[in-house]
Amino acid sequence: MMGSFIEFFALRENPFNITPDVDFFFMSSIHQEALASLEYLLETEEGFAVIVGEPGTGKTITIKKFLSQIPDNVEYAYILFPNLSPEEMFRAILEDFGIKIPENASKNRLFSLLRDFLIQKKKEGKKVFVIVDEAQNLPVETLEELRLLSNLETDKEKLLQIILLGQPELERKLNLPQLRQLKQRITVMYRLENLSKDEMVDYINYRLAKAGNSTVRISPKVYDAVYGYSGGNLRLINQLMERSLMSAFVKNKHQIDRQDVEEAASSLGFEKKGGKRWAVAGILIGVIITAAASGYYFYQSKNPSGETDLKNDGKYTESIKYGTVIPDRLNMRKNPELGSEVLYVLKKGSRVEILEEKDGWARVRFKNITGWVKKEYLEQQDEQRNAG
Ligand SMILES: Nc1ncnc2c1ncn2[C@@H]1O[C@H](COP(=O)(O)OP(=O)(O)OP(=O)(O)O)[C@@H](O)[C@H]1O
Ligand SMILES: [Mg+2]
């Protein structure tokens, strides 16, 4: 069905995919300001930046856009699903920087490993960011530890800057008296808002054009309806537009009419934005997805799959390992280290053959490209196959 609506409209891909794909980034006035405030961090040494916004306002895609264009002297760790204790947070940061963690390392040990790493980077003239997405889930205790981490300095130079992205609940958390000191260190605070109707119209057309549109026609009333149901929330706009395209497609017409949006809205359970009820469905969906995904992440990180013996060349069966890519995009690198050349970017759900594993990295084959990826971003499956 999906494939066919794409063909029907002569599109290259789904224009309203709800994954945060930087290629589809639309520079609205709001997102431009948010990016500018992040760019300010590149010029200062100071503290914390915070970006808050309701679900679906573009926090994740904005940080991805920012990261896609930062200078070479910046290194960063990106932490998602951060319902983490301070210790788990240190671990996640170290792992993202590709630092080997000794077994049974205490919290203090983790902290000092991180400090040493940061001092080393400072010597190399690097700037280091730690980015925490979905930061509304950070326990207060972990936020306080992040503040202590951000206090580290040599010769009055700070070693690290922290960017927190989260839903409005994050801002409420930061106002708690226990976090007073952290709040004082926030130098950038930006609140992402929904799009105005004019910008929504540009956004819709921009995404259609990006996806190679030639045959979609939109009747003017469509915009009123989409705005009425979405309130300019980007994720909701995408959901409505995708369903509307499908609705027109099943009726075999290239024009999207108001009626298609009405059907899309009712199938999504959206209500007209009279009060705030329109957003409830969207928020609930977001919460469910986030909860499911975090559960999944913890399952993965707390049950690292046992190593299978790759040199096992038993006569009758051999175990072939496959993995499925978990994040939206996953860099396949030439060598098992973070700075190494990116050979290919794997998309979410791609299935790769695992050839070798080493220090948290896996050498994988996809089509005929082989390269290294971080193992934790693969969901692994073993398959027995008859040999010979
Ligand atoms: N500036 C933008 N350009 C293009 N697409 C956007 C933009 N902002 C948001 N979107 C679209 O809306 C979707 C939701 O954005 P995103 O995932 O970044 O929201 P979020 O604020 O991180 O939401 P959540 O709080 O649920 O994580 C994105 O996947 C993307 O498809
Ligand atoms: Mg997000």
CATH of residue 332's domain is 2.30.30.40
The answer on 173 and 238 residing in a single domain is no
The answer on 259 and 222 residing in a single domain is yes
- The pLDDT of residue 342 is 73
Last-in-domain residue among 175, 191, 207: 191
The answer on 170 and 38 residing in a single domain is yes
Instruction: Identify the residue whose tokens are 């040493």.
Output: 116
The answer on 179 and 42 residing in a single domain is yes
**Ligand 1 neighbourhood includes 56 CB (under 6 angstroms):** yes
**Ligand 1 neighbourhood includes 22 CB (under 6 angstroms):** no
* Best CA proximity match to 113, nearest among 143, 121, 163: 121
- The pLDDT of residue 142 is 95
- The pLDDT of residue 317 is 44
Which ligand lies nearest the alpha carbon of 58? 1
Residues (pLDDT < 70) of the chain are: 1-3, 274-319, 368, 383-388
Residue 319 CA, ligand 2 centroid: distance in Å: 37
The answer on 108 and 47 residing in a single domain is yes
Residues constituting the chain: 388
The answer on 340 and 208 residing in a single domain is no
SS3 171: helix
CB neighbourhood size of 272 (10 A): 12
- pTM of the entire predicted model: 0.72
- The pLDDT of residue 283 is 52
Spatial contact of 52 and 168, defined as CB atoms under 8 Å apart: yes
The answer to whether residue 287 sits within a structural domain is: no
What does the pLDDT look like over 167-209, one tens digit per residue? 999 999 999 999 999 999 999 999 999 999 999 999 999 999 9
The answer on 202 and 146 residing in a single domain is no
The answer to whether residue 280 sits within a structural domain is: no
The answer to whether residue 331 sits within a structural domain is: yes
The answer on 165 and 33 residing in a single domain is yes
CA distance 81 to 84: 8
CA distance 53 to 51: 7
Domain count, the chain: 3
CA distance 93 to 212: 39
- HSE toward the beta carbon, residue 343, CA cutoff 13 A: 17
**Ligand 1 neighbourhood includes 286 CB (under 6 angstroms):** yes
Last-in-domain residue among 162, 191, 220: 191
CATH of residue 52's domain is 3.40.50.300
**Ligand 1 neighbourhood includes 136 CB (under 6 angstroms):** no
The answer on 207 and 178 residing in a single domain is no
DSSP state of 306: P
CATH of residue 262's domain is 1.10.8.60
The answer on 148 and 43 residing in a single domain is yes
Residue 21 CA, ligand 1 centroid: distance in Å: 9
